[in-house]
Amino acid sequence: MATDESTPTPEQTPEASQPTRRKVLGRIGAGLAVALTPTALAQKAATAPNTGVRPPAQSVKRNPVTQYVKPPFQKQTQPWPGLASKMIPPPDHGETSYQGTGRLVGRKALITGGDSGIGRAVAIAFAREGADVAIGYLPAEESDAREVIALIRAAGRKAVALPGDIRSEAFCVQMVAQAVRELGGLDILVSNAARQHQVGSILDLTTEEFDWTMKTNLYAMFWIVKAAMPHFQPGASVIVTASEQAYDPSPNLLDYAQTKAAQVAFTKLLSKQVIHRGIRVNAVAPGPIWTPLQPSGGQDPAKLPQFGANTPIMRPGQPAELAAAYVTLASQESSYATGQVYGVNGGNALP
């Protein structure tokens, strides 16, 4: 491209070859102003240069009440298990905002349900903190999972895709073995994948649906943690995604809430079993979070437009808002924390 001779070129102006903080933040701010789909966010993050400047979402003081979109939301439904790419508005998993500081350099992590929602946000954060990451997910979620794999690799870390159904014990054992083999070990396990399907009455909750929830949320957690345990060395960390439903269950989540209460008990008990080996076990108990679980059967479609409005913050949380909790629990900074349940729930006074 031709230049005006009166205008200094980058070669003539040394400072132009290195972006200033104002220029970098200006470019980032302009990019964040554009409404992006999850696919576009993944593509943008995968090709964006590492400026070394912390993006605004983590460095700028903001009002948490207005930081993200508030209800009412558009009415929407999806078939199970749902895709983040089809949600309106798209969830924020930290694709363009999360900036790591090296807190998990050299760690090797397996995250179930890593294609979307909380698992996707954790996968992005772990990779940008220096960890190699394997994600488990259902084959129907392949399109979302491919975006996450691209984001992990864009962070310069190894990514392993592990599609399959965790209701099968054989697959759970195989998934852990493959993660260990391809990552070269395992230091962090995030048991996050879950089934949530709202049913208004126990009379309408079928044995098949009840069994589906129990197998996904409890049996799979047990199988995966058990398979991973022999591979852990001192300093390893297990993090379970529980829920505020363990403490204040909604009337239409009879089976789901039971599994979340059991996960809290599992976390507290297992932590006592394995701390002598230097392994910590903790849980995160989210409140209402804007993920594909909600429009794919997790919420009553008629009530979805007001999802999260009854929290003190008056909106649902975004997956990106939970990532830091998982990073902290996985890192050595939390060396004195085990058997704990960390609430991220928009101000509800539990756990």
Residue 132 has what pLDDT?
A: 98
65-119 residue pLDDT tens:
999 999 999 999 999 999 999 999 999 999 999 999 999 999 999 999 999 999 9
The CA angle 334-147-197, to the nearest 5 degrees, is 75
Cβ(280)–Cβ(271) under 8 Å?
Answer: yes
Residue 44 has what pLDDT?
A: 52
Residue 61 has what pLDDT?
A: 87
In terms of Cα–Cα distance, which of 136, 9, 10, 21 is closest to 81?
136
Catalytic residue flag (residue 256): yes
Phi, psi of 248 (to 5 degrees): -140, 75
167-201 residue pLDDT tens:
999 999 999 999 999 999 999 999 999 999 999 99
225-236 residue pLDDT tens:
999 999 999 999
The structural domains of the chain, ordered by start, are 18-344 (3.40.50.720)
Q: Given a cut of 90, is residue 21 above it in pLDDT? A: no
pTM assigned to the model: 0.85
In terms of Cα–Cα distance, which of 106, 158, 103 is closest to 135?
158
pLDDT level of residue 58 (50, 70, 90 thresholds): low
Q: DSSP H helical segments within the chain, as ranges?
A: 21-32, 38-47, 56-59, 117-128, 142-154, 169-183, 207-214, 220-228, 254-274, 323-330
Q: What is the C-alpha to C-alpha distance for residues 279 and 276, in angstroms, rounded to an integer?
A: 7
Task: Enumerate long-range contacts of 254-261, CB under 8 Å, 24 or more apart.
Answer: 254/199, 254/202, 254/205, 255/197, 255/199, 255/205, 255/209, 255/210, 255/213, 255/214, 256/194, 256/195, 256/196, 256/197, 256/213, 256/217, 256/298, 259/194, 259/213, 259/214, 259/217, 259/218, 260/217, 260/285
Instruction: Classify residue 289 by its DSSP letter.
Output: B
Annotated active-site residue in 256, 326, 336, 342: 256
